[in-house]
Structure 1
Amino acid sequence: MTSNSDTLKPTFTPEEIEALYFNTARQGEIELLAEFIRAGMDINHQNNEGHTALILASYHNQLSAVELLLEKGADPNIIDNKGAAALTGVAFKGYIPIAERLIKAGANVDSENNLRRTALMFAILFGRNEMVKFLLQAGANPNHTDGEGLTPLQLAENQGDAELIQLLQKQN
């Protein structure tokens, strides 16, 4: 005979648990995210696209979730299937407070994606001038060459952004 509590106990597949975990990070639900971590969820677990909870929380501007994940040992240098680390998504979105936390936690400021583009290059391509300034101050390489042979200065020139061109020329 089964007890009433056994018949009411919800069961989730590993895929459903993973989806809930990643949605929790993406939406910045701190209490639930902390519960997943306490329950033993691998903090650096990657989904089928290579995203970690930290990558998703960063990309969706969930500063409190980012701080919790970093505090609990999330690796800021894990890359997704496209070679992008958390800092890459933050750079093209322009989320400086999250970029600061990631770099403070040891994120490689010059991490390259599969096209050899860095966070600095993405910030340039998406017109995130304040992020460009921040990344340069954080030590980003202004002379890096991507997979197409382009430097940050050349990308800024292609974008026609006079402010960034001037800024990057001063770096050389």
Structure 2
Amino acid sequence: MAPPAAPPVPPSEQPPGPKQVKAETPQPKLVRDPVKTPPLPNPTVALPVQPPEPPREEAKQAAPQTTAPPARPAPPAPVLSSGVPTWQGLVLGALNKVKRYPFAAQSRRQQGVPYIRFVMDRNGRVVSSRLERSSGFAMLDNEAVNLPRRAQPLPKPPADVTGDTIELVVPVEFYLR
């Protein structure tokens, strides 16, 4: 009777590693003392240099169309400031100095940009002020309408701005940080 067969080897989850091969040890080579000959000089050979060939007509064909959208042109470069403040900039600066964010609107996290229209005389005195476009919040709109009266006298208009009264429409920004 034959002895029982060994159970089959269960498959391993690890991939088989590299097989080991016995490295052969290099055998030292016998070097005989050759007759020394003087080294030959390296001759330099000048090869004619040809200019590169122009691209073939086949290579000049346009690239195939892609599915990518065409590139948009770059936005125009910013215009450098002359450093001289404009009269309108001075008026906006004077308004911003006295602008107050209403506490109740701030605590309710209300933000917006109301536009106001106001009329001023040549001496910088505000004649009238009214709401041009609402921010959507009454507290912000009321603060914007009252702003020009608190900021007076505003900067006087330059000579090139004509008329006894000047009418301006300005945005008043109320944003939380």
Q: Same fold (TM over 0.5)?
A: no
Normalising to structure 2: TM-score of the pair?
Answer: 0.17
Higher helix share: 1
Q: Which has the higher contact order (CA 8 A, sep 6+)?
A: 2
Higher strand share: 2
Higher Cα radius of gyration: 2
